[in-house]
Amino acid sequence: MKIKGRFIMATHIVLTRIDNRLVHGQVGVVWTSSIGANLLLVANDNTANDKLQQELMSATAESSGVGIRFWTIQKTIDNIHRASDRQKIFLVVRNPQDALKLVKGGVPITQLNIGNMHFSEGKEQITKKVYMDQADKDALTEIANSGVDVFVQDVPEDRKQSLKEVI
């Protein structure tokens, strides 16, 4: 348990993943069943206000038999401590900066899986499906330095590569 303010927070988050696509078949089916999650929590400010994205991701969650919630980063920070004991949460964020905000906000993240980070201008290829710029590397390093196990792993069958191995 971690203590944040007056709250004693049990860690109900079984895994946190960075994935530009957020919830899709690989996340909603393969990862969710592999880690035993029963709730997908998408922490992303844009998606929390985009009904179309929510509908598409909800269909994936429904096909896996798990619940899904769409919260802003701040709502996640403010409410994650209220998770019930029966909730096994798979927390999904779009980028390292959002993950860092959650960690700094006291969200009890112990493991951060880097899944897909697509190419964009200024990003270099780190692994087959992960591209980063210096801001990404800095955010991930800060997260790792706070005690979070940060690793790259596309699918559960792949070998985990620690952050130190890839950057």
At 79, which amino acid appears? N
- Terminus-to-terminus CA distance in the chain, angstroms? 30
Question: Given this model, what pLDDT does residue 11 score?
Answer: 65
**Domains recognised in the chain with CATH numbers:** 2-166 (3.40.35.10)
For residues 143 and 135, the answer to whether their CB atoms sit within 8 Å is no
Low-confidence stretches of the chain (pLDDT beneath 50): 1-10
Integer Cα distance of 120 and 118 in angstroms:
6
Please provide residue 8's backbone torsions phi and psi, each rounded to the nearest 5 degrees: -95, 120
- pLDDT score of 45: 98
81 assigned to active site: no
What is the predicted pLDDT for the residue at 163? 97
The per-residue pLDDT for range 35-47, each reduced to its tens digit, is 999 999 999 999 9
Catalytic residue among 12, 24, 81, 118: 24
Cα 77 from Cα 101, distance rounded (Å): 9
Report residue 137 CA to chain centroid gap.
16
On whether the CB atoms of residues 79 and 30 are closer than 8 A, the answer is no
pLDDT, position 3: 41
Q: Is 132 within 8 Å of 123 (Cβ atoms)?
A: yes
Predicted local confidence at residue 26, as pLDDT: 82
Closest among 9, 15, 21 to 107, alpha carbons compared? 9
| DSSP conformation class of 105 | T
CA pair distance 115, 156, nearest whole angstrom:
10
